[in-house]
Structure 1
Amino acid sequence: MAARLIVLCGTSFSGKSTVARELARRLPAQVVSMDEINDRRGLWGGAGIPLEEWSRTFQQAQTEALELLSSGTPVIVDDTSSPRFLRDAWRELAAGVGAEFILVYVETDETTVRARRDQNRITHSRRDVTDTVLNHHLSTFEPPAADEGALSVEQIRAIGR
């Protein structure tokens, strides 16, 4: 069976990392996390990252995913995956190695996202996202269009069963 590339799409604090860990355990699969790559590079997206640095992080994520997929290892990409051209780039990468591409939209309403961010400011379970960065992210986030065939979290969880 060909490897799978599962790309998560959703806003900050939507629950993507939780979904990624759960799916990685169930499938099994390897998670390629943009936050972890940024962390290794000494960057933090919650404070804003210059476009050229973010582009390098994206290139690193694609390199890591390509190596895993080429060896037949299923990959889950943990990222906001907005705007659409990023999702299209992942789709092209999967096609290039004959991997199945699955887009999962982790849809979470803005009230829940903000509540989770506020709770995180108390618990510090992950690094903070500034108000400026979160407001910009929420106002520019591009959810998947109907023609992208995105699955819901419930649909993708059934794949791992």
Structure 2
Amino acid sequence: MSSQHIVLIGFAGTGKSTVGKQLASRLGCASTDVDAEIVKREGEEIASIFANRGESAFRAAETEALEAVLSSRETLVVATGGGAVLAPVNRELILRSGFVVALKADPERLIERVSQDPDRPLLQGNVRERTYKLLEERKHAYDFAHLTIDTTSLAVDEVVERIAQAIQR
């Protein structure tokens, strides 16, 4: 397994996908989104996988997609799903494969960012209640990152700049 990827972890709405694309562009490498990889591999939208096969089937597909993406020989900026870090095997994969950046944000900002998105099955229903509950459950889930950035009041290019500087050190 190579040790050259930059892996973005964090709760839904912290900016992993958006930051990932811009960071890859800045670094001159490719970016990939693990959730998009799952959809491609499974031939089914994430919300549909949750609805039809349940969260455990989704998590199994997530680990397979993560392994496939992280085994790439080319340097990638990898945006993971918010819950990808919950499985110990995924945390090990992520840590082994490169520089890990956790993005976090104020709960109210997260709610604002995700509340209009139907593609977030774990946040359906009362978004505020679900967000606070999941944040509490995952309080320390992202603590293993090499770098943590609070994106609450930062522009995407500011987040990208901080990560690029950290990588160059």
Structures share a fold, TM > 0.5?
yes
Q: TM-score, normalised by structure 1?
A: 0.70
The whole-number CA distance in structure 1 between the counterparts of 2:66 and 2:145 is 21
Matches within 5 A, 1:60-75: 60-66=65-71, 68-69=72-73, 73-75=74-76
Query: Is 2:59 the counterpart of 1:54?
Result: yes
SS in 2 for 1:36: helix
Query: Is 2:86 the counterpart of 1:88?
Result: no
* Structure 1 residues 58 and 45: CA distance shift in structure 2, 3 A: farther
Q: 1:127 corresponds to which residue?
A: 119
Q: TM-score, normalised by structure 2?
A: 0.68
* Structure 1 residue identity aligned to 2:92: D
Are the counterparts in 2 of residues 47 and 130 from structure 1 also a CA contact under 8 Å?
no
The whole-number CA distance in structure 1 between the counterparts of 2:146 and 2:48 is 29
Aligned equivalent of 1:158, options 154, 162, 165? 165
Aligned equivalent of 2:142, options 141, 144, 155? 144
SS in 2 for 1:127: coil
The whole-number CA distance in structure 1 between the counterparts of 2:87 and 2:62 is 17
| Deviation of 1:54 (Å) | 2.0
SS in 2 for 1:144: coil
Are the counterparts in 1 of residues 49 and 58 from structure 2 also a CA contact under 8 Å?
no
Aligned equivalent of 1:117, options 114, 119, 124? 114
Q: 1:4 corresponds to which residue?
A: 4
Q: 1:106 corresponds to which residue?
A: 103
Structure 1: which 5+ residue stretches go unaligned? 95-100
The whole-number CA distance in structure 1 between the counterparts of 2:142 and 2:162 is 15
| Post-superposition CA distance 1:47-74 (Å, at most 9, x none) | 84421332123212311331x22xxx11
| Deviation of 1:84 (Å) | 6.9
Number of aligned residues: 143
Higher RCO (CA < 8 A, seq sep 6+): 1
Q: 2:152 corresponds to which residue?
A: none
* Aligned alpha-carbon RMSD (Å): 3.0
Structure 2: which 5+ residue stretches go unaligned? 150-158
